Amino acid sequence: MELNMAVEAGPTDVVYLDYNATAPLRPEAFAATVDALQSVGNASSVHQAGHDAASRVDLARRRLARLLGCASSELIFTSGATEANNLALHAVSSGDGALVATAVEHPAVLEAARAITASDHGQLIELPVNRDGITELGPLEEACRRGGVAIVSAMLANNETGVLTDLAPVIKMAREVGALVHTDATQYVGRLPLDLNDLDVDLLSLSAHKFGGPQGVGALFIRRGARFPHRPLLVGGGQERGWRAGTLNVPGISGLGAAAEAARIGLHDEAVRVAGLRDVLEAGLISQLSDCWVNGANSPRLPGVTSVTFPGAPADAVLAAMPDVAASNGSACASGAPSPSHVLLAMGLSREDADSTLRFSLGYATTERDIERGLDAIVRAVQEVRRAMAISAEP
């Protein structure tokens, strides 16, 4: 599927409502990436071309630092949030204490935590969530009382439902027992204002393509002074202060920086605008379709995300019935073996309801017209699938 949005910001025939999977490249990021691609220079080289590449990286680091409210020197560029999450957890051996993560983390946290604790014979404590997607902190409290917690990883915003985690009590409990706090902020960065001066986490992961940068580039924030063991995943040439060896992806990093800067400008107003569009979509679906609900509707959520269950309408069939709408089902099917969303199951949905859930995610280039067209197409597709299911269920 081709999307010209970033380059021309014009409409295409596809209503793109899948920003949580990846956002269209922002024009500023496109320009910065292409500009860097057209130049030569390894950011580690000592000649002028190397200095030019290094100054592109410096600019991107400063732009990202401004978006996050941290120092440039606290940022390590990676290949994305998957690597950033793995790096954050990998450094903390579960021999140093239990790893604690919410049950609704992205697989890039949960699978990393499972692999680490399996190889260290350590303990992974998964924090359950309630029906609204809010993390229950009882097991964390208990683990802290028993002692021996090494790190707590809790995402700022869930990728499937958009439900936000209130990190304040998590940070407080972790601080009392000297545990590190990591947050996967991949879906939050560039969507809502964030200030690391106020949010006292030790580590934070992000990925550029969720806020309009290129795919395959991201960063890990490591707070200065954090008691974080220096155990890199990749060793070699010592780039990124020894945290992440390998020639820097200068075009990708330049695009990330430009996207961070573009996202920062007008972030608050943009969040309000996008939330307004999301609310129109939700209200339209609920009023036009009988029997559907929004997961996490009672919780604080990201502005541009809605997870809607349409009982009796399997998500895959609905997606197939609306080829002009790009949205996501909740299943983890990257491996080719679809399984129901662990997030929705953790929130207490039945397998059948989880399989009848679609995620629509909006962002900076979403227009009112997209929502009008999207709403019509979704309503028609759900009605069509429900009708077909009813006919096929007839004796």
Q: Site residues (CB under 6 A) for ligand PMP?
A: 80-82, 106, 108, 155, 159, 184, 186-187, 207, 209, 218
Shortest Å, Cβ 373 to ligand PMP = 25
State in angstroms the smallest separation of the CB of 168 from ligand PMP.
Answer: 20
Q: Least distance in Å: CB of 234 to ligand PMP?
A: 15
- Nearest approach in angstroms of CB 51 to ligand PMP is 29
Q: Which is nearer to ligand PMP, 109 or 315 (CB)?
A: 109
Non-local CB neighbours of 199 within 8 Å, separated by 6+ positions: 167, 171, 183
3-state secondary structure of 222: strand
Closest CB 75 distance from ligand PMP, rounded Å = 16
Question: Rounded to whole angstroms, how far apart are CA atoms 339 and 330?
Answer: 9
Q: How far apart are CA 208 and CA 123, in angstroms?
A: 32
Tell me if residue 333 is catalytic.
yes
What are residue 168's DSSP bridge partners?
Answer: none
- The residue whose two tokens read 């067209």 is 373
Mark 309-321 as b/e (b = at least 16 C-beta within 10 Å): bbebbbbbbbbeb
Point out the residue whose Cβ comes nearest to ligand PMP.
80
Q: What's the CA gap between 338 and 321, in Å, rounded? A: 19
- Cβ neighbours for 220, distance < 8 A, ≥ 6 positions apart: 75, 76, 78, 83, 84, 87, 88, 203, 204, 205, 243
The tokens for 210 are 């969720």
The residue (of 29 and 108) whose beta carbon lies closer to ligand PMP is: 108
Q: Which is nearer to ligand PMP, 122 or 218 (CB)?
A: 218
Give the shortest CB-9-to-ligand PMP separation in angstroms: 23
Q: How many helices (H) and strands (E) does the chain have?
A: 13, 13
Q: Which is nearer to ligand PMP, 253 or 381 (CB)?
A: 253
Q: How far is CA 157 from CA 61, 264, 300, 308, 348, in A?
A: 23, 18, 10, 17, 19
When the beta carbons of 143 and 256 are compared against ligand PMP, the nearer one is: 256
Using alpha carbons only, what angle is made at residue 16 by residues 14 and 17, rounded to the nearest 5 degrees?
Answer: 140
From the list 70, 144, 292, 333, the catalytic residue is 333
- Smaller CB distance to ligand PMP: residue 56 or 182? 182
Q: Cβ(114)–Cβ(163) under 8 Å?
A: no
* Beta partners for residue 203, in sequence order: 182, 222
Cβ contact 371:281 at 8 Å: yes
Burial label, 49 (beta-carbon count in 10 A; 0-12, 13-18, 19+): middle
Catalytic residues: 333
